[in-house]
Homo-oligomer: A and B are copies of this chain.
Amino acid sequence: MNTGPAEGPGKRSGLRLAILAGAGEYPAHVARNARAAGAEVYVAALSGAANIADFPGCDAQEYRLGQLGRLLDALKRREVTDIVMIGALPRPSFGALAPELSTLKYLPHFARAFQGGDDHLLRGVVSFFEGQGFRVGSPAEMAPEIVAPLGALGRTVPASVARDALLRGFDLLAALSPFDIGQGAVIADHRVIAVEAAEGTDAMLERVATLVRAGRLKLGKGDGVLVKAPKHGQDLRVDMPAIGPDTVARVAEAGLAGIAVRAGGVLVGDRARLAAQADAAGIFIEGVS
């Protein structure tokens, strides 16, 4: 927090915030919260991922990745000081950037960032905006209520078999951290069933559902946990793992008992709605410290 009075509504007054918005509902959450706190919000919606119609009342424009030069001009014209990047992005291919003339000069910075894992790419994006004089903030700071709290989100709590599984799962994710993967895994039947890498959480959960349907995984009562956590050293400003209604639906469909997330380290969006959905499905969502 670098502006305005420290407490109460209006604590962000005077803040000129740009939200670089990807897909999903999180960008709109952050925009609403920041505006409610008094910030002036400009939304740069990534073409094909976010839609400016989801930001009613906001100053919002759509950009392609190749329009970075144009975006910088808009940010400077609006005297934006802070940037938050939020929402899902398809991993872009460098060749498909289709840069405009005003963007070409920035390409060398990104050419290197593309040579590596997602972490590396996102660090490159953060360092780029910081190099242009912006502060890059975390969505959790702008909208703390969209992050997983400690303990059960709904009424269901993990049984002891699931508690054992989730602890093993967090250990596994920690071991995977140095390899720039390891945001998700499924533990059930006293073993590691699936590890998430480039395919993403949804595809991993579908795989688990397939194993269950094929009889290759038998789930006892209360067994089966999806674990999600940030990597050690992950930059939570730009790369916080997330769960949402789709995750809950897929976990329920796979027959798993619940979801365990690192408290304070995973986006959950609208907590009350997610809790209600989990309760209805009979699955737990547990924030673990």
Which residues of A line the B interface, CB within 8 A?
90-91, 93, 115-118, 168, 171-172, 175-176, 178-181, 185, 190-199, 203, 207, 211, 215-218
A–B complex contacts, Cβ < 8 Å, 14 sampled: A90-B216, A93-B218, A115-B190, A116-B190, A117-B190, A175-B178, A176-B195, A181-B195, A193-B197, A193-B198, A194-B198, A195-B195, A198-B211, A198-B216
In Å, the complex CA distance between A183 and B284 comes to 31
Q: Is the CB of B211 within 8 A of A207?
A: no
Contact B199 A211 (CB under 8 A): yes
A175 proximity list for chain B (CB < 8 A): 175-176, 178-179
Chain B residues in 8 Å Cβ range of A194: 197-199
User: CB-CB < 8 A to A116: which residues of B?
Assistant: 190-191
- CB atoms of A192 and B180 under 8 A apart: yes
| Set of chain B residues within 8 Å of A180, measured between Cβ atoms | 191-192
A191 touches B118 (CB 8 A): yes
Q: How far is the CA of A191 from the CA of B113 in the complex (A)?
A: 13
Query: Is B190 a contact partner of A179 (Cβ separation < 8 A)?
Result: no
List B contacts of A192 (CB < 8 A). Answer: 117, 179-181, 197-198
| A176 vs B179: C-alpha distance when bound (angstroms) | 11
Most buried by B among A190, A191, A194, A218: A191
Among residues of B, the one whose C-beta sits closest to the C-beta of A196 is B195
Q: Which residues on B sit within 8 Å (CB–CB) of A168? A: 179
